[in-house]
Amino acid sequence: MTDATEFAPGLMIRGITAPQKLSDYKLIAFDMDSTLITIECIDEIADATGKKEEVAAITEATMRGEITDFKDSLRQRVGKLGGVTEADMAIVLAERLKLSPGAETLVKAAKAAGLKVLLVSGGFTYFAEHVRALLDIDFVRANVLESKDGVLTGGLVEQAWGDICDGAEKRRTLLEVASLIGIDASQCIAVGDGSNDIPMMQVAGLSVAYHAKPRVRNEAKVAINEGGLDRLLEVLK
């Protein structure tokens, strides 16, 4: 992380004076996969078709920024999910989806300080709505997997805003929700781990990289490299 200082072991800051007040912000936006939760859902779904390794390699390259077209990358990966059943998805949700350490603590603290919470994901509503319920999240934007008779087709469902929530859509969503609740982007916190989170991190008042790829850490004002999401509360009192 360029020009960063170690605020505490495994916690880097850049361009800010800490501690700041959590209540100075009004919206916190989270990526989902490998940020609010510990898994990449698409990789785990692909396990049902025996294609986890193949899909996970594309996911990793995309999150590192080595594959720059997120939409094309996602369509490629979703295309490999044809034939996965809703029962397979339910197993991933029940047995593999876990909240990241500190996620519940950070979200509760943010809500107690008066912030609204946004989950904005390049993943899928099937999992995002479950996480919304677990954490009492206010706003969710994610992709919808197309299914027919309880089986995934390998396609995505067009929504009012488009069919794929990529980096540009994450940025637009953060700004849209900020406008909706009557705040400026400078009053927003954006938390993510992959290169598709960078656009929303660049417009937010505070950008947070969580166990992130190198490119993302280099963009962030706060980088949590060790420990849970609640380590942000060491920077924001």
Enzyme catalytic residues: 31, 33
Task: Give the whole-angstrom CA distance, residue 201 versus residue 96.
Answer: 28
Up-side HSE of residue 140: CA atoms within 13 Å toward CB?
Answer: 20
Give all strands of the β-sheet with 27-30 in edge-to-edge order: 5-8, 11-13, 222-224, 206-210, 188-192, 27-30, 116-124, 139-143
Nearest to 206 by CA among 73, 9, 2, 15: 15
Number of other residues whose CB lies within 10 A of the CB of residue 179 = 11
Please tell me the distance from the alpha carbon of residue 146 to that of residue 124, in angstroms, as a whole number. 10
Q: For residues 176, 177, 179 and 182, what is the CA-based torsion angle, rounded to 10 degrees?
A: 180
Q: Which residues contact 21 (CB under 8 A, 6 or more apart)?
A: 113, 236, 237
In terms of phi and psi (left: phi > 0; alpha: psi -120 to 50; beta: otherwise), the region of 220 is beta
Q: What amino acid is encoded at 67 in this protein?
A: I
Q: Please give the Cα distance from 158 to 136 (Å, whole number).
A: 26
Cβ atoms within 10 Å of 210's Cβ, excluding its own = 29
